[in-house]
Amino acid sequence: MPFDGIVAKSIVDELSEKLASGRIEKVLQPEADEIVLLVRAWNKNQKLVLSASANYPRIHLTNAVKENPAAPPVFCMMLRKHLSGGKILSFEFNDFERIIGIVIESTNELGDISEKKLIIEIMGRYSNIILVNSDNKILDAIKHIDADISSVREVMPARPYVLPPAQDKLSPSLIDTAVLLQKINSTEQTVEKFLLENIKGFSPLLCREVCHLAGIEGRTGAASLEQDKRKVLSSALDTILQDIKQSNYAPCVIFEDEQHLKPLDFHCLGINQYGNVLSLTSISEVLDLFYSSRDNSERLRQKKSDLYKVLNNSIDRCSKKLAIQQETLRDVAGREKLKLYGELITANIYAIPQNIKSVSLLNYYSETGEYIDVPLDPNLLPQGNAQRYFKKYSKAKSTFTYTTRQLEDSRKELEYLESVLQLLDNCTALREMDEVRQELSEQGYMNLKKKTSGKKKAPRKAAAMTEPLRFRSSDGFDIYVGKNNRQNDYLTLKLAQSNDIWLHTKNIPGSHVIIKRNGLEIPDKTLEEAAVLSAWHSKARMSANISVDYTSVKNVNKPSGAKPGMVIYVNYKTAVVTPEKSLVDSLQK
């Protein structure tokens, strides 16, 4: 994983410098597995994040702002009880293990000064945040590990805190490269794997860096290295080890692209094997930059999962219903023939013999005057056969009328669900997802979880709507884009004036887009840019030559009873554009 033992040492060195003797002003728990400490140190307020996320565990200073739950979790309350107002005495770090302890001096409920230790264990899915007292007893942990989960080590309140089993590796501070490389002859591992399995705190990235400095292919068999290559490898490894011992840090983030948009990896030492490297002055800045995008996107994905499930199940159900309704319409497609049979039998009722299975009758509706064969039930009189056909026709006609209406409703529902699914993809914040969740609940697609309580509480006011996206065209016009159906309705029905311009992708789920005219004529360039924004915020984002309809807001109407975000429009024109992310970024206000 990116956060290795060397990075852990560098973050401890940095935190010891920046937060030593700091006071803990607040304790927050924005996520189920994440703690934020607001620390006042060196006349400055700073935020220290500790995350036990299975995918992105870490500890560093941060500038990120997250919403906190209305009711703090139990572990957060425990930390507030023991740590609020406490003074940070030191940060502990043991032999390049990814276990960091924060020693805190605080006043207990009796007014006595005591020491507590907040420990973060950065171990992938086994990561944890644990509070222990001066007797090394666990007060609580963000994740409880009992004997049923692990027979090796329990992490439960009132249990003694025990370090995880140590790794059977050499410490970078004590390693002798000559002795280490003597083991090469007896291994079947590659050079990278050999370094990773023998040096404590090294990550695959750092092992590759050693090989890069030595000019050796990391996947080469270690035992097959020639003597001169071993000397070069020893020299490169010594260089890295010296930087670690002397704390010669050069924090950097490695990117996949030249624009520095997609972070790939990071480290506290200088990395030379990649081209797109951004150097920063602080390892916390590096960690904050790297994890802010990755961790947020991962948590959003996890929190969207139940909404995706509801929407996809509803779309599947609606699609199956559509298929059944279309099949029903095909079954009654020949209803007019039933009416014709009944009328022909009635017209020839006295000329039709009884007890026959079919009869050939003149079709007097036809211009050519041909005869057609009419099937009969031999057990019925001609009048009975006519009535049978009229009843079948009446039933088929009613089925057609009712199913046609149902089919139209189903198509509108499917269009609505697909629009919500597309808008959910565009959600970038928890509040935006909550608005989608609220909308689906109001439309009857899901139930919001309600906490039961004996006390009756006053009804809560509806949460304020999040702000729509706002762009500025190259001609200076404001362009608004809705991020969900609540915002779409707000933009089209409340914010926009009758002469403003409304845009939407043609027959494709997407956002409502509004160009504010302010009494001016809209230039073609602004129209084109707004059309690109509409195409970009639609299901067709990755396609080319997208049709975008545009018209004045006065031509847009929301039918009575229509679902959120659903409108009809007339007197429109169509522009064809290709979405461009660079243009969207340049218009962002």
pLDDT exceeds 50 at position 453: no
Q: Do 192 and 320 share a domain, yes or no?
A: no
Give dist(CA 550, CA 571) in Å, integer.
9
Q: Do 259 and 336 share a domain, yes or no?
A: no
Which one-letter amino acid corresponds to residue 115?
E
377-386 LR contacts (CB < 8 Å, sep 24+): 379/355, 381/354, 382/345, 382/348, 382/349, 382/352, 382/354, 383/346, 383/349, 385/345, 386/342, 386/343, 386/345, 386/346, 386/349
Query: Would residue 434 count as lying in a domain?
Result: no
Q: Do 474 and 413 share a domain, yes or no?
A: no
- The pLDDT of residue 66 is 84
Query: Would residue 288 count as lying in a domain?
Result: no
Average of pLDDT values for 561-586?
92
Q: Do 25 and 135 share a domain, yes or no?
A: yes
- Range of weakest confidence among 146-160, 241-255, 291-305, 574-588: 291-305
| Buried b / exposed e along 151-170 (16+ C-beta atoms within 10 A) | eeebbeeeeebeeeeeeebb
Q: Do 314 and 418 share a domain, yes or no?
A: yes
pLDDT-based confidence at 345, cuts 50/70/90? very high
558-563 LR contacts (CB < 8 Å, sep 24+): 558/489, 558/492, 558/493, 562/412, 563/412, 563/413, 563/416, 563/443, 563/485
- Rounded CA Rg of the chain: 35
Query: Would residue 371 count as lying in a domain?
Result: yes
Quote the pTM value.
0.69
54-107 tens-digit pLDDT: 888 999 999 988 888 889 999 999 999 999 999 999 999 988 999 999 999 998
Q: Do 419 and 482 share a domain, yes or no?
A: no
**209 and 271 Cβ atoms separated by less than 8 Å:** yes
CA angle 244, 245, 250 (to 5 degrees): 35
**587 and 472 Cβ atoms separated by less than 8 Å:** yes
Place of tokens 């927050």: 28
Q: Do 62 and 115 share a domain, yes or no?
A: yes
Q: Give how many domains the chain has, as a whole number.
A: 4
Beta strand pairing status for 99-107 and 87-93? antiparallel
Q: Do 306 and 273 share a domain, yes or no?
A: no
Beta strand pairing status for 556-557 and 568-569? antiparallel
Query: Would residue 451 count as lying in a domain?
Result: no
- The pLDDT of residue 459 is 47
Give dist(CA 61, CA 37) in Å, integer.
9
- The pLDDT of residue 567 is 94
Contact partners, residue 588, CB within 8 Å, separation at least 6: 471
Query: Would residue 164 count as lying in a domain?
Result: no
Q: Do 121 and 12 share a domain, yes or no?
A: yes
Look up the domain containing 257 and give its range: 177-279
Q: Do 489 and 548 share a domain, yes or no?
A: yes
360-416 tens-digit pLDDT: 999 988 888 899 999 999 999 999 999 999 999 999 999 999 999 999 999 999 999
Average of pLDDT values for 135-149?
92
Query: Would residue 413 count as lying in a domain?
Result: yes
CATH of the domain at 241: 1.10.8.50
**169 and 200 Cβ atoms separated by less than 8 Å:** yes
Instruction: Count CA atoms within 13 Å of residue 589 on its CB side.
Output: 15
CATH of the domain at 78: 2.30.310.10
Q: Do 268 and 307 share a domain, yes or no?
A: no
536-548 tens-digit pLDDT: 999 999 899 999 9
Query: Would residue 319 count as lying in a domain?
Result: yes
- Residue 165, phi then psi, degrees to nearest 5: -55, 135
Q: What is the mean pLDDT of the chain?
A: 90
Q: Do 392 and 476 share a domain, yes or no?
A: no
Average of pLDDT values for 455-467?
58
- The pLDDT of residue 239 is 93
Q: Which of 245, 233, 224 is nearest to 178 (CA)?
A: 233
